[in-house]
Structure 1
């Protein structure tokens, strides 16, 4: 047992220079863990409330005031830490203290326990036997809530190095595609100044399909064949376009208005034309039926729920019953605690739904999600290609590879 001996909380700043909650946990023997809660710009309706009304400062204050209720809990027991946090906040969505507190404390506690055991966090949470590296899924072009006016309505154009034989090769491939895409964009528009969105993807003035054309061209100029060495993906973030009052998807930048059927057809057309290996939130967060149609139609594409599944065991069960998706995003802060995120991961895995552990747009240099991705046997780790807070996650994978405990890359199965 690694009993918690002290809890500290502070407000720091994330990659968007927004306030964030960071927690320090100490356990018997003087071992420590630290975690900073990330935050999203595109937030699903079903995810945990990130912060209370008073923001990060109030969240940190509430944690300090309630720290005595956490001291004594076994840091290595995710259930015990979850229960202690529930003593501070009994609301369903963590609206009293905020999901940021739940995240920071539960992840910092797990890190402290791993340090006390003298093992990596991924070993403590999931063991090393059978562990493989997730494929890095890199944001190379941003739009939507992650970038400014004139960028695409679709939120992310992504690249996945599906042919890579090692994590180092995978990271290098994504970096090369990102750099080549910058050249393609400058050739296309000499006025492009190299602006980037929240997650490090290029943020040009460009249409939705033009963005994919540019990314495909960058891959091809590097000698890659789409679907063989590399593959493209899209985060549609369709809930941001969905207007329930009109029953339609309203694209504010392109001016398009699509019925639910037209939206599904639009997503299908991009999947087919660009051989997408990954399609996230192609329809809005309650459209389980339309999502199921896409999953059935494209078995070689990871049709993935983010807002749809919201790192909720209950929602992923619903998705499994409806056969709505073949992949699901794992974001610990959507659930709140590490315990709830791991319960979601188990539920998804039992249903044969591949996991994609993901960063958020507002990040720190923490690298816990790299360990969580390996521990949960995630197929992919969705993070950026550029930016210190994104590269930190990739560098941690490289450090882990040097230990020699993780063998090879994840099995992408039917996606290859």
Structure 2
């Protein structure tokens, strides 16, 4: 029997919002939020954090107290959650995701969420979504599909870090990541098996070569090769060791993270002791496209080098050219990219935008322009598996989690395994 004072129509109303400081995968503070509803449903979510960040992203709020966590504490963001944000949201229905996200943005009052902190806002936004899904008695990925007004879901094709450099591995290589994409896989289970085999093969080969490797932030191996070509050759050897056919079963993706080594209008490759302009950088990358099964390139140029992006995209239309720092999950920057023909795919990182609804808008804008979407984790992650459900529920098509190592990465891979069991969906891979 329903208690007389319990209004079923208001059972999804937010009763409490509670934030706390936890540690991410790099041992640095981040924000965790619990959202509780009147009917007893509750949702928890955590804010990820990037190492290689674009200058146009929304801003995390950090304490700046050098005596605590080297200034990286998030107590100010937590206080905002437990104070202003909790007061703002209490009594509102968690099922009104778009309205709540807009209320958070309006209440913050800045374009980059710097007052309340983007880390505070995104963790709250995701926790609201999870609480509402539980209230609706739906798996999270299906509730996300419902928010998007679609019944179509799909298992995303994973792209997985094998070798890492850049900001993820103490600048040990110029390029940030060399990844494997199991293009021949028909099921998620097949894809995961291929990726695990390649990662193990690469580790064995580096050991046989007598190379000591640093474990990068996202679980990739960092052999410290001076040239990108050495890394490509190791990837090909790993494919062969894993008994996979390059270009048929498995292919290569790279994250150049070019903004990290762009200065004074030039690209400075420290490992090769070369300095390239935009046209020379395009030719440098084009050589790898011609010689290796390289099918996806992320952040090939600086985040504001629009002309190089446009000319490169036109020159290599059959390659997936992904904008991360270029677009920062911002619908307006994506619209500009579509207008000038820069890239043909968008990396979606929810914390770059600041709210779940904002990330949805970025995906819609990308798709309207014919761009592919890739849901992505950050270098600083937690055990929160939200992006796995987001990739499936939004029919994103691709996901970039990190390597098949470390619990914060495996939480997402394992959640995809559970969803695959529920959905029994085939993998497809297309970027146009």
Question: Is the counterpart of residue 180 in structure 1 residue 198 in structure 2?
Answer: no
2:58 to 29, 45, 48: 48
Distance 2:323 2:256 in 1: 11
- Between the aligned partners of 1:258 and 1:178, the Cα distance in structure 2 is 31
In 2, distance between residues paired with 1:413 and 1:239? 23
Q: Partner of 2:47 in structure 1?
A: 37
Instruction: Give per-residue Cα distances to partners, 1:353-388, cap 9 Å, x unaligned.
Output: 000000000000110001111122112100122111
1:15 deviation in Å? 0.3
Contact 2:185 2:191 in 1 (8 A): yes
Residue 63 (structure 1) shift: 1.3
Q: Secondary structure at the match of 1:214?
A: helix
1:202 to 221, 224, 249: 221
Match of 2:237 among 217, 239, 252: 217
1:355, 1:377 within 8 Å by CA — same for their partners in 2?
no
Q: Is the CA contact 1:383–1:390 (under 8 Å) kept in the aligned structure 2?
A: yes
Whole-angstrom CA distance in 2 between matches of 1:212 and 1:247: 27
Q: 1:289 aligns with which of 303, 307, 311?
A: 307
Q: 1:228 aligns with which of 220, 225, 248?
A: 248
Note if contact 1:277-1:302 (Cα within 8 Å) is conserved in structure 2: yes
Name the residue aligned to 1:60.
78
Choose which of 174, 189, 212 in structure 2 pairs with 1:168.
Answer: 189
The answer to whether residue 135 in structure 2 is matched with residue 113 in structure 1 is: no
* CA distance in 2: counterparts of 1:269 and 1:250, whole angstroms: 18
**Residue number in structure 2 paired with 1:237:** 257
Match of 2:102 in 1: 83
RMSD of Structure 2 on Structure 1 (CA): 1.5
Q: Equivalences for 1:17-416 in 2 at 5 Å?
A: 17-54=27-64, 55-66=73-84, 67-127=86-146, 129-149=151-171, 151-188=172-209, 190-192=210-212, 194-207=213-226, 208-243=228-263, 246-384=264-402, 385-404=404-423, 407-412=425-430
Per-residue CA distance 1:274-328 (angstroms, 9 max, x = gap): 1211100001111222222222222322110000111000011111111111111
TM-score normalised to structure 1 length: 0.95
Q: Rg bigger for which structure?
A: 2
For structure 2, the residue ranges without an aligned partner over 5 or more in a row are 1-9, 65-72
TM-aligned CA distance change 1:279 to 1:191, over 3 Å: closer
Deviations along 1:260-279, one digit per CA (max 9) or x if unpaired, are 11111112222222121110
For the Cα contact (< 8 Å) 1:75–1:113, is it kept in 2?
yes
Q: How far apart are the structure 2 equivalents of 1:79 and 1:413?
A: 28
CA distance in 2, matches of 1:77, 1:174: 39
| 3-state DSSP of counterpart to 1:277 | strand
1:15 aligns with 25
**Does the Cα contact within 8 Å between 2:186 and 2:428 map onto a contact in 1?**
no
Shift of 1:413: 6.0
Deviates more, 1:21-30 or 1:255-264: 255-264
TM-score, with structure 2 as normaliser: 0.91
Structure 1 gaps of 5+ residues are none
1:60 Cα deviation (Å)? 0.3
Q: Give 1:223 deviation, angstroms.
A: 2.1
Cα contact 1:138–1:158 (8 A) shared by 2: yes
CA 219–34 in structure 1, closer or farther in 2 if over 3 Å, else same: same
